[in-house]
């Protein structure tokens, strides 16, 4: 301990104490510092004028920005403070720079700083030199401790242990420190579990192609509690902690859909701002990798469709890729003769400053009606003459049966929720009759309930219709041949656009557009480069279509599957 003659002359001192972590705060180590200071002052007959306690405050925060540190600096600037006692130098900061900045700031107002456990005094040159050395030692101690902690945390993370933080919705941490799917009933929704909510979310997006917004609204109608409501957690708003709105949002649903944890891969360390090693570790999956990937594809398609202005019902939207820059083609329309709009597919690298050409991709536009007719004719040709691919489609009937079971479970859930809504309505009216709530409250509650009930009934009708279709398929078509026969009936006559789009997305993998190299050297100068379109079907090899600036004005027909056949429409 340190004590010099100046203490005997000026016995009025101020105490500054600080702890950082919540664990230290719960163990009240700051009170231990205060008790030590009081005993120290009693021993040396010093008078304590004031005590400044920064409880749970990080040492990285500058002294003037800490609640009690700010008050200390203010009192020092007013001349109220002459000597400050600290338990040790680490109370001022965790790095040498923070410590020396705090000392310098107080010394500007004539304040001397002394440690009760370390031999230095800023009132003389020798003491200031020792302070500098101790500050460096404190920083070295902190960095060494952190490095040891990181190494230990990484070892535990590689073993799959959950090392703190908010557990993803659908999981819980078991007694051994590993996460597992949570199959416990939700509070207030005993027929559902967290893991079941995750499975339903992926079913709606991956298999029924719902948007994140639609899923969020549906979950709110079902009354499923989100994580913050379920756990009773709060969030920080400024200096206060408040409860959340307690509802599902589209952004929350989207973040959960792209979370790889649900397919069994968790990335440890990606949330930290530090430059550190990212560790991929295997965790129990809630959904299959195939279903997770299907959900990602639906999200990508939704983004592409939302970015397009619809002048024409683009049949191939989201399926066309540029063979030059790799970006996706989107639909747009240009004014032709007599200002009549003509639809085209245009590379995204031509209209935005992205890709390797920064918005100047040399790819050519493709007439929408020409390409759509060719692709649709190919799909119709396959449905009418499937050949050997019939065996592959036979396996899809198993998926139909699984989807039917999922639909039946969701219908049961909605019917239970509708019954619960009826009970809630009765309870609200009972409260009104007993004059516990006002008529205004009744009106508001019943309106919310009516909206939720209407949403659930609408979804119930959709599910029952889907279940009817699925049941008919399973009942009447026990193998893929009969399924194709049904498709043949559906493509007769006028076909709704949505049905055509669904058939095309099922049968077409990707369409690649690229510029061909002209065989005639003069064409390189006189004409635009011809276009080659590669259509990759799910039922055969890629088919190549060539588009030039001259030829017949009517689009071609016929299959020619697997061959490179030139199609020559009119000028465009």
Residues with catalytic annotation?
20
Q: Are 428 and 446 spatial neighbours (Cβ–Cβ below 8 Å)?
A: yes
- The answer to whether 34 and 50 are in contact (CB under 8 A) is no
Q: Using CA atoms, how far apart are residues 499 and 142, in angstroms rounded to an integer?
A: 64
Residues with Cβ within 8 Å of residue 29, at least 6 apart in sequence: 19
CA 368 to chain centre: 34
For 432-468, letters b (16+ CB in 10 Å) and e give: beeeebeeeebeebbeeeeebbebbeebbeebeebbe
Using CB atoms within 10 Å of the CB of residue 46, give its burial: 0 to 12 exposed, 13 to 18 middle, 19+ buried.
buried
What CA–CA distance (Å, rounded) separates 49 from 91? Answer: 19
In sequence order, which residues have a C-beta less than 8 Å from that of residue 230 and are 6 or more positions away? 186, 187, 194
Q: Do the beta carbons of residue 546 and residue 566 sit within 8 Å? A: yes
Query: At a CB cut-off of 8 Å and minimum separation 6, what does 70 contact?
Result: 63, 64
3-state secondary structure of 544: strand
Q: Which of 433, 383, 367, 404 is nearest to 571 (CA)?
A: 367
- Please check whether residue 122 is in contact with residue 131, taking contact to mean a CB–CB distance below 8 angstroms: yes
Q: With contact defined as beta carbons under 8 Å apart, do 260 and 266 qualify? A: yes
Backbone angles phi, psi at 297, to 5 degrees: -65, -40
CA dist., res. 180 & res. 175, Å (int): 11
Residues 6+ apart with CB under 8 A from 455: 217, 218, 221
Name the strand (E) or helix (H) holding 545: strand 543-547
Which residues have a Cβ under 8 Å from the Cβ of 261 and sit 6 or more positions away?
A: 168, 171, 283
H or E, element range at 190: strand 189-193
392: nearest Cα among 470, 484, 478, 480: 480
């Amino acid at each position: 301990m340190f004590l010099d003659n100046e203490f005997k002359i000026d016995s009025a001192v101020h105490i500054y104490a600080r702890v950082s972590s919540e664990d230290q705060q719960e163990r009240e180590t700051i009170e231990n510092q205060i008790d030590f200071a009081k005993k120290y002052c009693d021993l040396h007959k010093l008078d304590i004028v004031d005590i400044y306690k920064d409880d749970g405050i990080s040492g990285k925060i500058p002294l003037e920005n800490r609640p009690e540190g700010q008050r200390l600096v203010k009192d020092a600037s007013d001349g109220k403070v002459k000597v400050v006692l600290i338990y040790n130098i680490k109370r001022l900061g965790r790095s040498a720079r923070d410590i020396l900045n705090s000392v310098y700031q107080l010394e500007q107002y004539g304040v001397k700083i002394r440690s009760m456990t370390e031999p230095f005094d800023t009132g003389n040159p020798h003491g200031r030199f020792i302070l500098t050395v101790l500050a460096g030692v404190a920083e070295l101690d902190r960095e060494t401790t952190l490095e040891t902690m990181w190494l230990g945390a990484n070892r535990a993370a590689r073993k799959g242990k959950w090392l703190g933080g908010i557990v993803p919705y659908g999981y819980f941490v078991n007694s051994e420190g590993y996460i597992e799917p949570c199959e416990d009933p939700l509070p207030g929704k005993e027929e559902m579990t967290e893991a079941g909510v995750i499975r339903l979310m992926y079913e709606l997006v991956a298999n029924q192609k719902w948007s994140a917004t639609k899923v969020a609204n549906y979950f709110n109608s079902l009354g499923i509690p989100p994580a913050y409501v379920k756990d009773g957690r709060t969030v920080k708003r400024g200096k206060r902690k408040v409860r959340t709105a307690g509802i599902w949002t589209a952004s929350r649903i989207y973040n959960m859909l792209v979370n790889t944890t649900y397919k069994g891969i968790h990335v440890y360390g990606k949330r930290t701002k530090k430059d550190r090693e990212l560790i991929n570790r295997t965790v129990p999956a809630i959904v299959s990798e195939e279903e997770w990937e299907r959900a990602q594809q639906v999200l990508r398609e939704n983004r592409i469709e939302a970015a397009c202005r619809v002048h024409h019902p683009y049949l191939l939207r989201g399926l066309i890729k540029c063979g030059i820059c790799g970006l996706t083609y989107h639909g747009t329309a240009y004014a032709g003769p007599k200002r009549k709009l003509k639809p085209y597919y245009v590379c995204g690298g031509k209209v935005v400053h992205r890709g390797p050409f920064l918005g100047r991709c040399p790819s050519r536009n493709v007439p929408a009606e020409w390409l759509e007719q060719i692709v649709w004719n190919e799909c119709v040709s396959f449905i009418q003459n499937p050949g050997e691919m019939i065996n592959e489609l036979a396996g899809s009937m198993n998926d139909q049966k699984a989807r039917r079971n999922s639909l039946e479970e969701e219908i049961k859930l909605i019917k239970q929720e509708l019954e619960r809504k009826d009970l809630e309505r009765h309870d609200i009216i009972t409260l009104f009759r007993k004059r516990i709530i006002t008529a205004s409250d009744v009106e508001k509650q019943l309106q919310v309930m009516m909206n939720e009930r209407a949403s659930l009934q609408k979804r119930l009708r959709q599910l029952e219709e889907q279940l009817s279709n699925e049941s008919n398929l399973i009942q009447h078509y026990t193998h893929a041949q009969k399924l194709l026969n049904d498709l043949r009936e559906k493509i007769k006559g006028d076909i709704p656009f949505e049905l055509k789009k669904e058939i095309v997305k099922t049968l077409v993998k990707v369409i690649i557009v690229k510029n061909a190299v002209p065989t005639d050297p003069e064409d390189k100068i006189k004409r635009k480069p011809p276009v080659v379109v590669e259509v990759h079907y799910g039922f055969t090899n890629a088919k190549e279509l060539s588009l030039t600036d001259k030829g017949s004005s009517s689009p071609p027909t016929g299959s020619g599957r697997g061959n490179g056949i030139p199609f020559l429409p009119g000028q465009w």
